[in-house]
Amino acid sequence: MDGMNKHIWTRREVARLGGAGIVAATSGFGQRKRITARQVVERIRENIGVPWHYRTADTFKWGDPDAPITGITCTFMSTYSLLQRSAAAGNSFVISHEPTFWSADDVATDLRDDALFEQKMNFIDQHRMVVFRFHDHWHARRPDGIFTGFTRKMEWEKYATKDPMKFEIPEITLDALVKTMQAKLRVRSARVVGDPGLRVTSVRHGGHYIAQTMAAAQDADVVVAGEVREWESMEYFRDAVALGQKKGLIVLPHEGAEEAGMEECARWLRGFVSEVPVQFIASGDPFWIG
């Protein structure tokens, strides 16, 4: 890719500036100890508690991993807006659960001549930022880091069952449960299948895909999922309800279901990264309901 060649040149340039102490000096936080993004990721690998996979999405996506960083932002998704807010907060290292360049492996799309790609990449370069994706291993951790954050945000620790994905909660209607979730998870765009008056006492995470939500449906009144394909899980639950089953499906925006897990990630990182501040910044629910 043309953009890649240009990027490598820029990265070298940034590395040279970093080596000369210019990057650290421009950060405005003179007292901070020197640490690089790569060193932070090495500590993540030491602390994650599961073997690091050779084939993984959890790699550096842009920027120079060997330049000193000024602070860390943990977030659900490294959107352009999030990068701007991270830079404004003085954090040059962004740890993002989801992709930066709009596909699962960040390179599935041919982005040559894409003006937005140029702009986003240039922003990262100009602000001497570096972006790392932290997805597979944060999910692989036991318990799953993303769901740990969800449980804490919902204050559902007391409703945990032997199945780490399932909760037994005091009886509530489906409608009231959705409203509670929207408030606690700062979501405005939940979509629901099922009778609003359904009485709910058990809730289970359903992943994203039909085989997962189908399996979860056998085991709880309500399945919660952060983004599903509409022709898969929404249609399954619609049919289940049409057959008289007392079931519901709450589809949260992907972000709303998983963002708390990256707040959890910031909390976890602070346990072994003290050189620079570690902050959670929400990328936010992208949707409103019209």
Which positions touch other proteins (CB under 8 A)?
77, 79-81, 84, 98-99, 102-105, 108-110, 114-116, 119-120, 175, 178-179, 182, 189-193, 196, 208-212, 214-215, 217-218, 227, 229-240, 242-243, 245, 249, 251, 253-255, 286-290
Tell me the closest approach of the beta carbon of residue 6 to other proteins, in angstroms: 18
**290 Cβ contact partners less than 8 Å away, ≥ 6 residues apart:** none
d(CA 284, CA 85): 12
State which amino acid sits at residue 99: P
Cβ-based nearer residue to other proteins, 255 or 263: 255
Residues 6+ apart with CB under 8 A from 222: 174, 177, 194, 198, 200, 202, 203, 204, 247, 248, 249, 250
Rounded to the nearest whole angstrom, what is the least distance from the CB of residue 231 to other proteins in the complex? 4
Residue 52: DSSP 8-state:
P
Minimum distance from residue 146 beta carbon to other proteins (Å): 14
Nearer to other proteins (CB atom), residue 250 or residue 278: 250
Which lies closer to other proteins via its Cβ, residue 24 or residue 62?
Answer: 62
Contact 28, 92 (CB under 8 A): no
Question: Smallest distance, Å, CB 194 to other proteins?
Answer: 9
Q: Give Cβ neighbours of residue 104 (< 8 Å, ≥ 6 apart).
A: 57
- In the complex with other proteins, the residue whose CB is nearer, 29 or 209, is 209
Question: Least distance (Å) from other proteins to the CB of residue 48?
Answer: 21
